[in-house]
């Protein structure tokens, strides 16, 4: 058994000694807790940084995905305005103006048109196609001048096909197929036969409207 000297017994019996001992224990606990807190904080901070970086990447991806949609309503309105202007300027208001314009361009060629037939293609919600099938006679430069004038005319014409049907001396004979468009109501008022009907009855007396020029 260890015997303590009177001096140590007196120190151990002193409240101040126990006070220091308790303070030391508490200090050790506080230091341990501080170390643990620092470790936990570092781990939490690292996870928070990773989560923040992940969210930033997600936001950037969403920003890139939605970028094409910004101002979409404005672009749609602009497109509608452009379409309306195109219809007003380049879509003829009646069938008679189509025939008149083709005749004017033929005179300027000058070329001779024969077997001119008009027919109506399927009508869409906004426009109905009007098909022109005609024979063209003239010199090669005259025919090319006519074809170019049709393509560049303010009235919207699209040349579908052009094929040689004969040639004699300086005269060239071509078959020309052209499309333009009318608004459905204007096409219906023209009373043109449907294009399918015209094709089926090509070898027979056809009801397809003809224009002699």
pLDDT in tens, 50-99: 677 777 777 777 777 777 667 767 777 888 888 888 888 999 999 999 99
Residue pair 105/146 in contact by the 8 Å Cβ criterion: yes
21 vs 138, higher pLDDT: 138
Residue 139 lies in a domain: yes
**What is the domain-level CATH number for residue 115?**
3.30.70.60
How large is the average pLDDT for residues 119-144? 91
Percentage, residues of the chain above pLDDT 90: 37
User: What pairing do the DSSP bridges indicate for beta strands 128-138 and 112-123?
Assistant: antiparallel
Whether the predicted pLDDT of 25 surpasses 80: no
Average pLDDT score over the chain: 79
pLDDT of residue 78: 82
4 vs 115, higher pLDDT: 115
Q: How many domains does the chain have?
A: 1
Q: Domain range spanning residue 196?
A: 92-211
Percentage, residues of the chain above pLDDT 70: 74
77 vs 9, higher pLDDT: 77
Residue 84 lies in a domain: no
pLDDT of residue 199: 45
Whether the predicted pLDDT of 167 surpasses 80: yes
Measure the CA–CA gap between 208 and 116, rounded to whole angstroms: 9
Measure the CA–CA gap between 64 and 74, rounded to whole angstroms: 19
Residue 194 lies in a domain: yes
In the block, tokens 């936990």 appear at: 40
pLDDT of residue 47: 65
Residue 79 lies in a domain: no
Query: Token pair for residue 9?
Result: 């017994």
Residue pair 180/133 in contact by the 8 Å Cβ criterion: no
Residue 134 lies in a domain: yes
Whether the predicted pLDDT of 11 surpasses 70: no
- Note the pTM of the prediction, 2 decimals: 0.58
Residue 2 lies in a domain: no
Whole-angstrom Cα Rg for the chain: 46
């Amino acid at each position: 058994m260890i015997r303590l000297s009177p001096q140590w017994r007196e120190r151990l019996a002193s409240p101040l000694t126990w006070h220091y001992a308790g303070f030391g224990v508490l200090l050790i606990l506080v230091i341990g807790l501080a170390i643990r807190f620092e470790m936990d904080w570092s781990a939490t901070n690292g996870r928070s940084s990773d989560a923040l970086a992940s969210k930033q990447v997600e936001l950037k991806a969403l920003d890139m995905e939605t970028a094409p949609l910004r101002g979409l309503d404005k672009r749609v309105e602009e497109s509608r305005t452009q379409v309306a202007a195109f219809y007003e300027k380049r879509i003829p208001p009646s069938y008679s103006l189509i025939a008149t314009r083709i005749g004017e361009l033929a005179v300027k060629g000058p070329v001779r048109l024969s077997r001119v037939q008009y027919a109506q293609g399927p009508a869409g919600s906004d426009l109905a196609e009007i098909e022109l099938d005609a024979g063209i006679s003239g010199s090669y430069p005259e025919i090319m001048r006519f074809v170019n004038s049709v393509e560049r005319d303010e009235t919207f014409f699209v040349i579908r096909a052009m094929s040689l049907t004969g040639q004699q001396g300086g005269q060239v004979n071509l078959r020309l197929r052209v499309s333009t468009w009318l608004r459905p109501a204007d096409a219906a008022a023209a009373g043109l036969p449907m294009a399918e009907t015209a094709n089926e009855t090509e070898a027979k007396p056809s009801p397809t409207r003809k224009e002699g020029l």
